[in-house]
């Protein structure tokens, strides 16, 4: 099952395969660094930084049609704003890191088919 809604991305940027690849490459270049920063923020107990990176990743995920992650990052952003317990934040961040890794595989497959 695809984690990415490519039709959503096509509705935003058009159907040019080169441009689609470019947008997806930007996501694959930035998201792992941002996920690492998010994990560090959660480990360090920085609700502000968790909220910052959750918001940043939410926007990126929404833009490319990574809808499940969009909802998870939205939830995480609210948890950070509400100063939720760190163990709950860390657990969600761990799950999301695994999901993001799976999405990278999905993106690689999509880019090879464009």
Binned at pLDDT 50, 70 and 90, residue 3 comes out as confident
Sequence spans of domains, the chain:
6-113
pTM assigned to the model: 0.92
Are 56 and 37 spatial neighbours (Cβ–Cβ below 8 Å)?
no
- List the structure tokens of 74: 């939205």
How far apart, in whole angstroms, are the C-alpha atoms of residue 56 and residue 58? 5
Binned at pLDDT 50, 70 and 90, residue 4 comes out as confident
**How many CB atoms within 10 Å of residue 33?**
10
pLDDT of residue 2: 62
Region 6-113: CATH code: 1.20.120
Are 48 and 37 spatial neighbours (Cβ–Cβ below 8 Å)?
no
How far apart, in whole angstroms, are the C-alpha atoms of residue 71 and residue 68? 5
pLDDT tens sequence across 59-76: 999 999 999 999 999 999
How far apart, in whole angstroms, are the C-alpha atoms of residue 70 and residue 39? 17
- List the structure tokens of 41: 């923020």
How far apart, in whole angstroms, are the C-alpha atoms of residue 97 and residue 101? 6
**How many CB atoms within 10 Å of residue 31?**
23
pLDDT tens sequence across 65-107: 999 999 999 999 999 999 999 999 999 999 999 999 989 998 9
């Amino acid at each position: 099952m695809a984690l990415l809604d490519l039709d959503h991305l096509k509705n935003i940027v058009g159907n040019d395969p080169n441009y689609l690849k470019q947008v997806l490459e930007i996501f694959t270049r930035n998201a792992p660094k941002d996920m690492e920063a998010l994990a560090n923020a959660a480990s360090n107990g920085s609700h502000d930084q968790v909220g910052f990176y959750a918001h940043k990743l939410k926007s990126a995920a929404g833009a490319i049609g990574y809808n499940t992650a969009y909802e998870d990052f939205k939830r995480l952003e609210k948890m950070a704003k509400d100063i939720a317990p760190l163990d709950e934040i860390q657990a969600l961040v761990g799950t999301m890191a695994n999901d993001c890794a799976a999405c990278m595989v999905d993106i690689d497959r999509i880019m090879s088919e464009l």
